[in-house]
Amino acid sequence: MFSRIRALVLGLGVIVLLLGTGLAQSPHYKVGSAPSEEQLKTWSITILPDGTGLPEGKGTAAEGKDVYDRRCSECHGNKAQGADSSALIGGQGSLAGPKPLKTVTSYWPYATTMWDYVNRAMPFDTPGILTNDQIYAVVAYVLFLDGIVEENQELNRETLPKIQMPNRDGFVKDDRPDVGPTAHTPNR
């Protein structure tokens, strides 16, 4: 009798333990659960500058003009020169002058950033409505408007990360403090 109860308690204990490890993933505090494949896939939208994360799909500037005119021009101007919202093109060569114009084409170091940003945030008032093909196409169109890609050049997960943006080497690391007694390079 006694040993049967003991076996039962032991058995229950083992089941609880097994269940526990299935649900609680973290080693110290036993909290959380493992994400499903589905969740990992739908949530992981970050596009890294080497192209990691870019999905299937393709588009050209020629195809992107239509997307741009319908979805973007109202706020960014009919030629991406800026309207109520900022200019997306122009300003190449202006960065060291008195009136720098920072745009996608004059300032952004990576074309992948535009894909990532449009995918997550644009159009401003209806983010998330563009298909992957439309995003490749509209990125191609904006870059085409400022002479960075050809009109019929196809952008996809292979070609997009290879685009050399004009200001690719325009960034330096933070070297502050840049003034005063603790400055890294005093009296520069």
Partner 1 sequence: MRDGGVGDARLSLSVFLPRVNLGPSGFPSLAGYAPPCIIIASREGYVAETKFEKGSEVASRRKFLSLGAALGGALTACSDSGEPVPDEGPKRLGRAPNVYGERSPFEKEARRGAASKYPETGATRTPLQDSHGIITPSSLHFERHHAGVPAIDPAEHRLMIHGMVERPLVLTLDELKTLPSVSRLHFVECAGNSRGEWTDKKGATAQDSHGLASCSEWTGVLLSVLLEEVGVKPEATWLVAEGADACKMQRSLPLDKCRDDVIVAYGQNGEAIRPDQGYPLRLVVPGFEGNINVKWVRRLMLTEQAAMARDETSKYTDLLANGKARQFSFPMEAKSVITRPSGGQVLAGSGFHEISGLAWSGRGLIERVEVSIDNGASWQDAELQEPRHRIAFTRFRLPWTWDGAETVILSRATDETGYVQPTEQALLAVRGANSDYHNNCIKAWKISGDGRVTNV
For partner 1, the binding residues (CB under 8 A) are 25-29, 31-35, 39-40, 43-50, 84-85, 95-96, 98, 100, 102, 104, 107-110, 112-114, 116-117, 120-121, 124, 127, 170-182, 188
**Nearest partner of 105 among 81, 128, 122, judged by Cα:** 81
How many residues contact ligand HEC, by CB under 6 A?
17
- The C-alpha atoms of residue 57 and residue 127 are separated, in whole angstroms, by 19
Rounded to whole angstroms, what are the CA distances from 110 to 32, 95, 96? 36, 17, 20
Nearer to ligand HEC, 66 or 178 (CB): 66
Identify which of 136, 180, 127, 135 has the alpha carbon closest to the alpha carbon of residue 154. 136
Among residues 166, 151, 54, which one has the least CA distance to residue 104? 166
Of residues 68-127, which lie at the interface with ligand HEC (CB under 6 A)? 71-72, 74-76, 85-86, 88, 104, 114, 117-118, 122-125
Beta carbon nearer to partner 1, 66 or 175: 175
Q: Which residues bind ligand HEC (CB under 6 A)?
A: 71-72, 74-76, 85-86, 88, 104, 114, 117-118, 122-125, 138
